Amino acid sequence: MKQKKQLGLKIKLGLHLVLWKCLTVLPLNRRKVVISDFHGKGFGDSPKYIALALHEKDPSFRVICLCAKGADTSDIPSFVKTAGLHSAASAFHQATAKFWIDNCRKNIAVKRKSQYYIQTWHGFALKKIEKDVPSGTLTDSYIRSAKRDSAMIDLIVSCSAHMTRVYTDSFWYGGEVLTIGSPRNDSLIHGGQSERAAVERRFKLTKGKKIILYAPTFRDDKTTDAYLRDFRFLSDACSRRFGGDFVVFVRLHPHAAKMASFITYGDTVINTSNYPDSQELLCAADVLITDYSSVMFDFALSRKPCFLYASDLEKYTRQREFYFDIKRLPFALSETRDKLTESIVSFDENAYLEKINDFFEKVGMDTNGVASQKVAELIAEKAVKS
């Protein structure tokens, strides 16, 4: 059955690619932009925030969002049109749009010489990625695909000097890198009040309720043993230190979201793994608990408290290499529930803020909060010149 599905997907992608190639004879629409978030996850991440800024700057631009089957499209604004990820419509739009905006590698793509491909990637890297990972970790097929993708990219948008070095040295890429911040994080830097309000409405939270966001990353062996299951102690610890009543939002990485059912959900523990925009959840959260996920660096831009819970630290660090010593990051690291409770209850805000500021200075983090507007301006300028 699995082999039949894989064969069916290969045939579908092959037909899609053939149609795409045929459609490249059509004229380009210099005011059309095709965006994609994690292979059609929905309207989210940096592509979303660039699209919103572009519409605000010039509503005449046409935005097409690629959406996989089952993607949450409920919050997509009316000015954004959708197309199925590997549909005939998506082939048409990708073949005729002047601009592509993506946050991960394109598995298949036929870029025309006059099209402009903007890559935003999807986070500040803690774990080593692309060429920086140990030899033999990446498959030959992935490397070929990554090189093909990098050869098409016209611009990479970077959040920091650290990531600019990664893109320049490790992405098989020799093009332009624009270090202006991460578009998806503009709202975090500016407080994210409208994003928080949207989350509160979506999940029908009572006024004054506070949010703990639990957002661990995936494990290569696809196990869930290292994840928290019982969250009452978190709520109690946060109430003791920060005051108020807390609910827990569980947000699993896209690679692990299908395994979310191992947790028992209810009024105080809410599954948000399929919520289309993780940045809105970060804006809404009062406290973040994660392990090795890059969301820690996004969340730190808000200066709100973040804690690391990594019960499998020894095992994980044998399997993955980091750009930074995880024990020297600005966030308190705990390998047990008791230590996590202690770290929360004894949280020192002043010391935390000092560590955050020092780290951001070290990595050259851009914290201006205008990345979306700058990319929108660039697109508008290039549309006029083309």
Percentage above 70 pLDDT, the chain = 96
Sign of CA dihedral 193, 196, 201, 204: negative
Residue 91 pLDDT > 90: yes
Percentage above 90 pLDDT, the chain = 78
Query: Confidence band (pLDDT; 50, 70, 90) for 6?
Result: low
Write out the DSSP string of 306-375: EEEE-TTHHHHHHH--BSS-GGGSSSEEESSHHHHHHHHHT--HHHHHHHHHHHHHHHTB---S-HHHHH
* CATH for 13-186+369-385, options being 1.10.510.10, 2.40.50.100, 1.10.10.10, 3.40.50.11820: 3.40.50.11820
Mean pLDDT of the chain: 93
Nearby residues of 149 by Cβ (< 8 Å), 6 or more positions away: 105, 106, 109, 119
> Residue 1: what pLDDT?
62
Q: What type of residue sits at position 122?
A: H
On the question of a common fold for 13-186+369-385 and 193-363, the answer reads yes
Give residue-wise pLDDT tens across range 322-351. 999 999 999 999 999 999 999 999 999 999
Give residue-wise pLDDT tens across range 148-185. 999 999 999 999 999 999 999 999 999 999 999 999 99
Query: Confidence band (pLDDT; 50, 70, 90) for 5?
Result: low
- 300 to each of 72, 117, 190, how far by Cα in Å? 27, 29, 13
CA–CA distance, 7 with 302 (Å, rounded to integer): 46
CA–CA distance, 262 with 105 (Å, rounded to integer): 30
Domain boundaries, the chain: 13-186+369-385, 193-363
Best CA proximity match to 58, nearest among 82, 30, 83: 30
- Domain 193-363 falls under CATH 3.40.50.12580: yes
Give residue-wise pLDDT tens across range 244-270. 999 999 998 777 767 767 889 999 999
Tell me phi and psi for residue 183, to 5 degrees: -55, -35
Query: Confidence band (pLDDT; 50, 70, 90) for 374?
Result: very high
Residue 21 pLDDT > 80: yes
